Amino acid sequence: MIADELASQLATLERDGLTRSVRTLASPCGPRAVVDGRELVSFASNDYLGLASDAALIEAAIAGAQEWGVGAGASALVSGHFAPHAELERRLAAFVGRERALLFGTGYLANLGIVPTLVGRGDAVFSDRLNHASLIDAVQLSRADSHRYGHNDIGMLERLLERSSARRKLILTDAVFSMDGDLAPLPELFSLAERYDAWLVVDDAHGFGVLGPQGRGSLAHFGLPPSPRIVHMGTLGKAAGVGGAFVAGDASVIDWLLQRARSHIFTTAAPPLLAVALLKSLELIAAGEARRAQLAALATQLRVGLTDTRWRLLPSPTAIQPVLVGDNHEVLRVAAGLAERGLWVPPIRPPTVPAGSARLRVSLSATHTSEHVAQLLAALRELEHAAK
């Protein structure tokens, strides 16, 4: 029976410590979360700048709803592209220093739109082994030949490019890797893209708003110049605090996506009220140096506080600070122990991360305080001593 097969597969996930569950919050996104009737300090959100519940964005969203209603009514190419959407695309392109930008419903949809639109059968994609699931799925949809190189392994990537006879080539990478928190070597990747005449598609989901001057993203962080071969994807539901995503690049690239990206053409546009809120978010991101400085200070506090403990932090210069545990069941026990002490830190297990590398994903926000991080450090030290 089909149902029996599913039950068996679910039992295997349970045995291996790999089952997932949904936590329902009874509070807005912020540094404290009410979960199952308990208030916890949350290190589980990607709201890096603390904008998701910012009063200015809430006021902008209310004003947007009053002027534009709460729905778009259709896809952007039918009747769902409103004046706030157009203004947001103009402002995003200018903010990241590209000619044009195109809005998508989510970062996942943006990635599913980019890759199959730029390459197909007979072409080749060269993808970092730790890329996000949306990029992996996008490659499969494209039907291009897939080549995966070792994480940030420039030498291996060059060898693959050198051997390729594909008519079109595309290098595909996260800018900030979401489960490790480290950065892609974007200058070296761009150099290879130039040398081998390839596209360079950069998923900046966890860099936009946090890295670079005024939070303009990972490309600005590395000082990369505008180039027709670079396609920049950024999400708007993490540091920007709202929702959606954008793709920015050369005008011809954006025009081609507008004509061919199925995940843009065949989906209802986001409510214009969100675009109004995001226009305010861009202002706050540009003026957010104090927020970014707070993030850096909290990351330093965490790293220094764990130096003489068993807890090993992966090398990360970003708001994502993973604590490597290893075993699936052990990471679940540690996460449960933190929850008992009033802290919510999500345990991350395969297939999200490689087997044997289960971890606690500590995600910092500018709205966290040094007291919050001190509470986390104290709890981790308690759990360390309890395990001895």
Judge contact between 120 and 144, C-beta under 8 A: yes
Backbone phi, psi, residue 35, to 5°: -130, 125
**CA proximity to 281, closest of 98, 92, 105, 111:** 92
Judge contact between 321 and 44, C-beta under 8 A: no
Q: Is 235 within any annotated ligand binding site?
A: yes
Rounded Cα–Cα distance for residues 181 and 315 (Å): 8
Q: Is 81 within any annotated ligand binding site?
A: no
Q: Is 108 within any annotated ligand binding site?
A: yes
Judge contact between 261 and 114, C-beta under 8 A: yes
* Residue 218 a catalytic site member: no
Judge contact between 247 and 232, C-beta under 8 A: yes
From the list 238, 280, 368, 372, the catalytic residue is 238
Q: Which amino acid is located at 373 in the chain? A: V
The DSSP H or E segment spanning 325 is: strand 320-326
Q: Is 12 within any annotated ligand binding site?
A: no
Q: Is 300 within any annotated ligand binding site?
A: no
Q: Is 268 within any annotated ligand binding site?
A: no
Residues 6+ apart with CB under 8 A from 69: 271, 272, 273
* Residue 388 a catalytic site member: no
Q: Is 309 within any annotated ligand binding site?
A: no
Query: What is the residue-wise DSSP string for 84-109?
Result: HHHHHHHHHHHHHT-SEEEEESSHHH
Q: Is 132 within any annotated ligand binding site?
A: yes
Burial class (CB in 10 A: 0-12, 13-18, 19+), 361: buried
From the list 85, 147, 169, 206, the catalytic residue is 206
From the list 134, 142, 178, 263, the catalytic residue is 178
Buried b (16+ CB within 10 A) or exposed e, 204-241: bbbbbbbbbeebbbbbbbbebeeeebbbbbbbbbbbbb
* Residue 165 a catalytic site member: no
Q: Which residues are annotated as a binding site for pyridoxal 5'-phosphate?
A: 107-108, 178, 206, 235
Q: Which residues are annotated as a binding site?
A: 20, 107-108, 132, 178, 206, 235, 352
Q: Which residues are annotated as a binding site for substrate?
A: 20, 132, 352
Residues noted as catalytic:
178, 206, 238
